[in-house]
């Protein structure tokens, strides 16, 4: 009887030991997988002002598994005036600059670089000062672009291309907003100027030599 009990006890002990070994061998049964790294996608998004995009944070764990952790990490923006980010990774663009979005869980972090653009160019407004310059003088042109993502026009004078009806009267170097009236121009001569960018043409400004 004692031998039988001893055998039964030995059998149960072996069974318990095997069960424990099996449990320990299967990661995650007793110990939860630990987060090893976070990846944010997209990593370098470009947004127009006033638009939003949701970033995804994927966590990789020490057992090789992956999981969407966007709702559990802490989201921050290095420049909230450029773009803000919600607790779920929703980024909303504000001003045209670049900011870094960071997802953090404990000591594990990941970053994404967000670039905010003004959107699509809608129109160009061109002005000049003066419009009646003397020969051999400077005319300052200002081209302001209105974009789909912003209600505030932006100075794009150094970005536009210049179209001049009579270049012998006035010249404007590309990449510059300053025009030079020819020293040989005579009183009453005039030329028309337009600024163009991305297929958009400004209003026409007429320069008449004084």
Same-domain status, 101 and 150: no
- Total domains present in the chain: 2
Average pLDDT over residues 154-181: 97
Mark whether 64 and 134 lie in a shared domain: no
Which is nearest to 127 in space by CA: 193, 181, 190? Answer: 193
Does one domain contain both 141 and 192?
yes
**According to the model, what pLDDT value does residue 16 have?**
47
Supply the range of the domain harboring residue 77.
Answer: 35-117
Check the CA dihedral 125-130-132-134 and report its sign. Answer: negative
Report yes or no on whether pTM surpasses 0.85.
Answer: no
Residue 141, in any domain of the structure: yes
Nearest to 91, CA basis, from 48, 148, 151: 48
Q: Is residue 75 part of a domain?
A: yes
Is residue 116 a contact partner of residue 97, using CB atoms and an 8 Å limit? yes
Question: Could you say which of 117, 143, 170 is where a domain stops?
Answer: 117
Residues 144 and 178 in one domain: yes
Q: Could you report the per-residue pLDDT of 45-60, keeping only the tens digit for each? A: 999 988 999 999 999 9
With residue 204 as reference, give the H or E element that holds it. none
User: Which residues face 205 on adjacent strands?
Assistant: 193
Q: Are residues 98 and 150 in the same domain?
A: no
Cβ atoms 108, 35 nearer than 8 A: yes
pLDDT at 151 over 90: no
Per the rule left: phi > 0, alpha: psi between -120 and 50, beta: everything else, 136 is: left
- Domain boundary (61, 85, 117) is at 117
Indicate whether 203 and 128 sit together in one domain: yes
Which tens digit of pLDDT belongs to each residue from 10-29?
445 555 445 545 544 444 45
Per-residue tokens: 7: 């055998």
């Amino acid at each position: 009887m004692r031998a039988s009990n001893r055998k039964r006890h030995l059998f149960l002990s072996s069974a318990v030991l095997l069960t424990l070994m099996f449990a320990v061998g299967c990661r995650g049964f007793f110990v939860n997988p630990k987060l090893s790294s976070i990846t944010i996608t997209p990593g370098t998004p470009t947004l127009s002002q006033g638009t939003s995009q949701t970033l995804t944070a994927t966590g990789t764990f020490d057992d090789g598994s992956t999981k969407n952790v966007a709702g559990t990490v802490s989201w921050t923006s290095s420049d909230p005036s450029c773009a803000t980010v919600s607790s779920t990774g929703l980024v909303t663009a504000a001003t045209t600059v670049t900011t870094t979005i960071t997802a953090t869980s404990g000591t594990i972090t990941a970053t994404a670089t967000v670039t905010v653009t003004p959107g699509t160019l809608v129109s160009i407004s061109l002005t000049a000062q003066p419009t009646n310059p003397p020969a051999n003088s400077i005319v300052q042109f200002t081209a302001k672009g209105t974009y789909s993502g912003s209600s505030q026009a932006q100075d794009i004078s150094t970005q536009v291309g210049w179209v001049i009806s009579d270049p012998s009267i006035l010249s404007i170097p590309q990449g510059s907003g300053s025009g030079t009236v020819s020293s040989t121009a005579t009183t009453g001569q005039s030329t028309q100027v337009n600024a163009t960018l991305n297929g958009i043409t400004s209003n026409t400004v007429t320069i008449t030599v004084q």
